[in-house]
Amino acid sequence: MEKEKIVVNTDGGARGNPGPAACAFVVRRNGEVVFKEAFFLGNTTNNVAEYTAVLKALEWLIKNNFTESNIFFEIDSELVVRQMNGIYKVKDVKLKEFFDRIKSLEKNFYFPISYTHIFREKNFLADKLVNEKLDRVSRPATLSPEN
C-alpha cells in the first residue's frame, strides 16, 4: 500500500532584516488544506523566520501522526532548500541550530523528507498568512473612547 502524500508549504518574512517577523505553514492532503497556521516571532531575520516555519511544520506533523506519510516541503526560500538538501553549508550559528533541530526531527519520519524550491507565486497561501500576521501586529493600537 502506498503511503499518503502530504505537501507542506512554508514561508517566513521580516519587515526589515532584522525586524518584526512571522512565519506560516500550510499542510495539504490530496490537494486539500488540512491545517494552516501563522506565528508572530518578534524581531528576527527573514532566514530565521523561514527556518522557524519548517521547524513548526515538522513539530505539527509529528504531533498529528503524519510520521508514516510521504512529506514534501515546497518552500520559496532557495537558501533553506539548498541548505536542507546539503547543497549549501550552514555557516550561520543561529541557522545551524535550526538546521540541526530539523534534521533531528526528521528521524521521526518513516520516509525521507523532500525539500523543493518553488516560486513565491506558487506559495501564495503561506505568504499571505505571514503578511496577514505581520499586518495585524504592526497596526497602531487605537485608543478607546475613555482615553
Per-residue pLDDT of the chain (147 residues; tens, 9 = 90+): 457 899 999 999 999 989 999 999 999 999 999 999 999 999 999 999 999 999 999 999 999 999 999 999 999 999 999 999 999 999 999 999 999 999 999 999 999 999 999 999 999 999 999 999 999 987 655 554 544
Q: Cell match 523561514: residue?
A: 50
Q: Which residues contact 94 (CB under 8 A, 6 or more apart)?
A: 48
Q: How many domains does the chain have?
A: 1
For residue 104, being part of any structural domain is answered with yes
Domain that residue 37 falls in: 5-138
Whether residue 146 is contained in a domain is answered as: no
Is residue 143, in this structure, part of any structural domain at all? no
In a domain, 145, yes or no: no
CATH number of the domain residue 9 falls in: 3.30.420.10
